Structure 1
Amino acid sequence: MTRVHLSRLPGDRVLVVEGGAGRDLALADLPAYVAGREADAPRWVWDDTARWCPPLLAAGVRVARCHDLRLSRRLLSRAPAVDHALLEGEDADLWDRLGPAATVSEPVLFSGHDALEHLRADVEDARQLAAIDASPEAARLRLLVAAESAGALAAAEMTHAGVPWSVDVHEALLTERLGPRPPRGARPRLLAECADDVRRLLGAPGLNPDSQPELLAALRRAGIEVTDTRASTLRAVDHPAVEPLLRYRSLAHLFSTNGWAWIDEWVHDGRFRPVYQPAGSATGRWSSNGGGALSFPVQVRSAAVADEGWVFVVADVAQLEPRVLAGMSGDRALARAARGADLYQGMVEAGAVATRQHAKLGLLGAMYGATSGESGRMVAELTRRYPQAFGLVEEAARAGEQGRVVRTLLGRGSPPLGGSWDESPDAPPADLDVLDRRRRSVGRFTRNFVVQGTGAEWALCWIADLRNRLWRLGDEGPVESRPHLVFFLHDEVVVHAPAGLADAVASEVTEAATTAGRLLFRELPIDFPLNVSVVRSYAEAGKPGT
């Protein structure tokens, strides 16, 4: 496949390098150049997809493949199977410092004359390819960087398209719950009335219920002896102030996180436009740079409304991480239990446990490090039934406790967590207790890292295949005029599609999930059943079993 390298030059120019030959191109001519070359299906190689894609998408140009050098360098620099010396060389330190484009309002490719703005894509690409080729895990790493880069393309397209959003529905919801929009700096009427009820019932007329120290002191003066103001603590208290206080907390959270200010900042032209950050966490899971996209609150989902004549196709994969654990460990008994919609019930039917709850407790306990109680007991019992699966996470935990790096199925390495692992045995007992707790904490992290990270890799392969399938469903036009992804959350996707294509989209979503499973777990087919809903509002979508 032809690789075309794009590097930024001063003066709104672009350096295009292909096959070792370079040419200078005006920035204004770039969309037409890219559109013309897409017929040849090249792989575009650039420093950061979040910088290059927005102006292309704004011009109606979509690219099929890219290699995101920033994301790939981060992967390779932590991968245990890579000789990191091969990543050294010209401007290597600058590449290590390169961060993602942070906001939607950063569409300009050239924002100054800093050295970070003019890194040579062809030079860095040569280093990365050499490092991958020299690795004993080259095939897996190639898949990993390709999936990560495809995820970056999907993120850019989702940010560009936005989630269809009804400001009228959202504002009506706020008015119903909080009262009319207040002046800046003031509480809405119903929230203020709730605060007054709390003050009256606690006999604290000057109380600011948002201040934890003030609230704790007021509770104690009212004879409510609590050590904190958590909701679970307050619910156990028999006092008339508790109900309005909990209601105040809920309303205040809505006002501060998804109130009118949120609409003003994040909703434009009928679209909620968060900024997605692929690989925003160490495991490869995404994060978002604002708007709370990856913690989409249930209370405002009714405002996510498809365009007229369009629908949302919402798909969740059931029990992703336990299925991934079965596949990456090669545990055929657990893989058999995973056939069908409910892995936990499959374990019951196989005779491994008596109840679905026991199955869930045992598997989640293994992935999160439960050692005591009912969950710990189930881990011990299921280890004998599924030794490969439970042994894999146990080995990852021991590796973390010993200060060793662990890796996902495709080779993403766990981050260095700092600290020394060989403290003197003559250290005081208190220090040894601290060290032991820290070791166990790191072990719990690495235990979960291998599974959660591999789950993120499966999800990347899922959306990478799906975005291409959706593009082919459309007849013509840019991304947003065809069925397109608008939301992705770990194990869930939302596609905005013309109503007449809903069934076709649902089929493609399911096929893409099957393809992702085969791509990662070729030798051991694993079912990834989906819960698929076709809805007009995101709030209407069904959720999978847990």
Structure 2
Amino acid sequence: MYIALVPGRSGDGWYLRLDGDGEPVGTAHHTDDLAARIRERDHHETTPRWVLAETRRVYPPLLAAGARLDRCHDVTLAEAILLSAEGHAGRPHHPAAAHARLHGLPVPDPEPVHVDDGALFDTRPPADPRRTLDMLVEVHRDQLRRTRTHGPRLALLTAAESAGALVAAEMTHHGLPWRTDVHDAVLTELVGPRPVKGLRPKRLQALADRIGDAFGHHVNPDSPQQVVEAFHAAGHPVDTTRAWELRRVDHPAVAPLLTYKELSRVYTAHGWNWLRDWVSDGPAGPASPAKRFRPEYVVGGVVTGRWATDGGGALQIPKAVRSACHADPGWSLVVADAAQLEPRVLAAMSRDDAMAAAAGADDLYAALAPTFGGSRQDAKIALLSAMYGGTAGNATALLTVLRRRFPRAHRYVETAARTGETGGLVYTWLGRGCPPPSQRWWSARTESTRAGRDRGRFTRNFVVQGTAAEWAMAMMALLRTGLHDESLGELVFFQHDEIIVHCPTENAPAVVELIQPCADAATRLLFGDTPVRIPLNAKTVQNYAEAKLPSPGATTHTSRRGVTRGSVANLACDSTSNRSPP
């Protein structure tokens, strides 16, 4: 059962029950308290799938009012998925655009987003909620029809992505626990006390002075042009200020410059200004140093389906400040990291029996090492080169070994690369399509082969990285359900293949026990009966910096806990087999 939902302007809203085909059942209803109406649904045996125009706009005010949605269909995300599956990735996918295409009308621009009162994004309701509800129902019905023409995999992708949107909104709502006093102490130790506005911190200024002394004149280390010119004048014609190039230069300015660049990145991206802009009050109130980091996650923000963030740098929290990510008193952080996710996904996708068998081990690279003369490092280089198109060093020779030993896996990524090189489209396991090449690319391809090679590297990785993102989304959706059903804790962070759960310390063992079954269930949900195993190494810590996760070869926790059939069915939309290649 679906329920289309459109909020009003004063906590009210409209909703309409829909059948499995998206057809209205009865008439639309208005309620003065939409959040209360949703909370009432929690006591019903049948859990609806709420149809939302855009979860990241609709859900935050409902969360703030104490209303939680178990499942949803995000029309905006679904439209993006459908367009990509239909070969039109990158076209406008907001509901008004989908409605216009449905009726053969010009596609309007999305409504401008205005950020007011410190909000991360615009959560204002539409001017005419009742009319918006009719449009939403019509677009949703069309999306169900189009999805069914593609089969159950795309339905699973839509369900998983929509669940991811709920997770993202809830993570922003809960916030990542953050200690401002610890962060301030870390910054002071790294770069010196907080400086007066317009000046560098003490240690950065000292490094800048050393750099100038080494060159014999003032050089602004924040200016790549000045640094390159200074090295040229000193007889070292470098092209860039990248660390790998500077390390090859024998000059006394190199060491302080590399240190300056490293510390400056932390100070600029996660310094005191970041603390002021992105870390807000926690449950203990403004007087407590226990705060919350609340970034805005953008689900499907990368063309492969990976997440992005709209400011805050949540996906690049440097190790230097991770100790400030600290659990509340009486609580702990459970940090889990998927080991060698993309190579394992390739093994499952390609149905390469030999690689899949090796991917049943905790350390895939070690399991493959005998094929590469006992070298785990060579096994790693070969797999990464196959997925990313690398040819440096001895990669070519190692790829020859991989092609001979694991022909299906090698053929899978090579086929994707050849398709991309000729301008074709490739798809993830669940059916997300890559963007078509631009007219500029077609023009460049007629002039040189480089454009083709570059696109081949992109499509080679697209099929693997995109499918890994799908697996991660399914795993998180299952974990979200398990955490809520047993009241264990809150998902507060996600970064491609890593998650953090904030939970009461007494619940931490149960959280750890829940994580691996969710990973195993996600693997079965996507790939069916496969020997491939994607281990999630979990550790309970008080702060993020302590989460030096077990090495891939270490023994991992084996759980007897299962994932309920209901939680999988809810995510899968009652999908049937997902075992055949697209």
Structure 1 pair 31–227 and aligned structure 2 pair: CA distance change class (3 A): same
Structure 1 pair 185–115 and aligned structure 2 pair: CA distance change class (3 A): farther
Deviation at 1:241, TM superposition (A): 2.4
- Of the three residues 243, 250, 265, the one matched with 1:231 is 243
Structure 1 pair 400–99 and aligned structure 2 pair: CA distance change class (3 A): farther
Contact 2:63 2:173 in 1 (8 A): yes
Amino acid of the structure 2 residue aligned with 1:203:
G
Q: How does 1:140-289 map to 2 (within 5 A)?
A: 140-205=153-218, 207-269=219-281, 270-289=291-310
Contact 1:48 1:100 in 2 (8 A): no
1:34 and 2:38 are equivalent in the alignment: yes
- Of the three residues 482, 491, 495, the one matched with 2:497 is 491
Q: Aligned partners of 1:253, 1:122: CA distance in 2, in Å? A: 47
Contact 1:147 1:464 in 2 (8 A): yes
1:315 and 2:314 are equivalent in the alignment: no
Contact 1:74 1:96 in 2 (8 A): no
1:413 and 2:413 are equivalent in the alignment: no
Structure 1 pair 361–247 and aligned structure 2 pair: CA distance change class (3 A): closer
Deviation at 1:18, TM superposition (A): 1.2
Deviation at 1:370, TM superposition (A): 3.0
Contact 2:9 2:124 in 1 (8 A): no
1:299 and 2:299 are equivalent in the alignment: no
- Of the three residues 15, 30, 49, the one matched with 1:25 is 30
Contact 2:372 2:378 in 1 (8 A): no
Q: Aligned partners of 1:366, 1:154: CA distance in 2, in Å? A: 32
Contact 1:165 1:271 in 2 (8 A): yes
SS in 2 for 1:486: strand
Contact 1:535 1:541 in 2 (8 A): yes
SS in 2 for 1:407: coil
1:56 and 2:77 are equivalent in the alignment: no
SS in 1 for 2:33: helix
Amino acid of the structure 1 residue aligned with 2:139:
E
1:365 and 2:377 are equivalent in the alignment: no
Q: Aligned partners of 2:146, 2:495: CA distance in 1, in Å? A: 31
Q: Deviations over 1:65-107 (max 9, x none)?
A: 000000000000110499x999841487658847999884336
SS in 1 for 2:43: helix
Amino acid of the structure 1 residue aligned with 2:306:
R
Q: Aligned partners of 1:466, 1:390: CA distance in 2, in Å? A: 32
Q: Deviations over 1:456-486 (max 9, x none)?
A: 1110110000000000121xxxxxxx50111
Question: Partner of 2:462 in structure 1?
Answer: 449
Deviation at 1:526, TM superposition (A): 1.6
TM-score under structure 2 length normalisation: 0.84
Q: Aligned partners of 1:463, 1:375: CA distance in 2, in Å? A: 34
Question: Partner of 2:423 in structure 1?
Answer: 403
Deviation at 1:225, TM superposition (A): 4.0
Amino acid of the structure 2 residue aligned with 1:33:
R
Deviation at 1:10, TM superposition (A): 6.9
Structure 1 pair 174–443 and aligned structure 2 pair: CA distance change class (3 A): same
SS in 2 for 1:532: strand
Structure 1 pair 48–235 and aligned structure 2 pair: CA distance change class (3 A): same
Amino acid of the structure 1 residue aligned with 2:203:
L
Structure 1 pair 94–55 and aligned structure 2 pair: CA distance change class (3 A): farther
Question: Partner of 2:528 in structure 1?
Answer: 522
Q: Aligned partners of 2:438, 2:237: CA distance in 1, in Å? A: 40
Amino acid of the structure 1 residue aligned with 2:437:
L
Deviation at 1:217, TM superposition (A): 2.5
Q: Aligned partners of 1:176, 1:400: CA distance in 2, in Å? A: 48
1:513 and 2:519 are equivalent in the alignment: yes
Contact 2:339 2:537 in 1 (8 A): yes
Q: Aligned partners of 1:395, 1:201: CA distance in 2, in Å? A: 52
SS in 2 for 1:16: strand
Deviation at 1:224, TM superposition (A): 4.2
Contact 2:297 2:310 in 1 (8 A): yes
Amino acid of the structure 2 residue aligned with 1:25:
H
Structure 1 pair 372–300 and aligned structure 2 pair: CA distance change class (3 A): closer
- Superposition RMSD in Å: 2.9
Q: Aligned partners of 2:418, 2:245: CA distance in 1, in Å? A: 36
Q: Aligned partners of 2:271, 2:430: CA distance in 1, in Å? A: 41
Structure 1 pair 219–462 and aligned structure 2 pair: CA distance change class (3 A): same
Deviation at 1:363, TM superposition (A): 1.1
- Of the three residues 437, 440, 463, the one matched with 2:476 is 463
SS in 2 for 1:460: helix
Structure 1 pair 80–329 and aligned structure 2 pair: CA distance change class (3 A): farther
Structure 1 pair 131–193 and aligned structure 2 pair: CA distance change class (3 A): same
Q: Aligned partners of 1:10, 1:440: CA distance in 2, in Å? A: 52
Of 432-441 and 95-104, deviating more is 95-104
Structure 1 pair 194–421 and aligned structure 2 pair: CA distance change class (3 A): closer
Q: How does 1:467-478 map to 2 (within 5 A)?
A: 467-474=480-487
Structure 1 pair 129–158 and aligned structure 2 pair: CA distance change class (3 A): same
Structure 2, unpaired ranges of 5+ = 19-23, 92-96, 282-290, 553-582
Question: Partner of 2:80 in structure 1?
Answer: 74
- Of the three residues 384, 393, 405, the one matched with 1:385 is 405
Q: Aligned partners of 1:225, 1:404: CA distance in 2, in Å? A: 41
SS in 2 for 1:165: strand
Deviation at 1:213, TM superposition (A): 1.9
Q: Aligned partners of 1:432, 1:266: CA distance in 2, in Å? A: 44
Structure 1 pair 250–51 and aligned structure 2 pair: CA distance change class (3 A): same
Question: Partner of 2:21 in structure 1?
Answer: none
Amino acid of the structure 1 residue aligned with 2:33:
D
Q: Aligned partners of 2:35, 2:223: CA distance in 1, in Å? A: 52
Paired-residue identity, %? 44
Amino acid of the structure 2 residue aligned with 1:228:
T
Structure 1 pair 141–114 and aligned structure 2 pair: CA distance change class (3 A): same
- Of the three residues 95, 98, 106, the one matched with 2:121 is 106
- Count of aligned pairs between the two proteins: 526
Q: Aligned partners of 1:14, 1:93: CA distance in 2, in Å? A: 29
Deviation at 1:24, TM superposition (A): 4.6
TM-score under structure 1 length normalisation: 0.89
Structure 1 pair 370–185 and aligned structure 2 pair: CA distance change class (3 A): same
Question: Partner of 1:338 in structure 2?
Answer: 359
Q: Deviations over 1:113-133 (max 9, x none)?
A: 799977722111001001112
Structure 1 pair 348–216 and aligned structure 2 pair: CA distance change class (3 A): closer
Question: Partner of 1:348 in structure 2?
Answer: 369
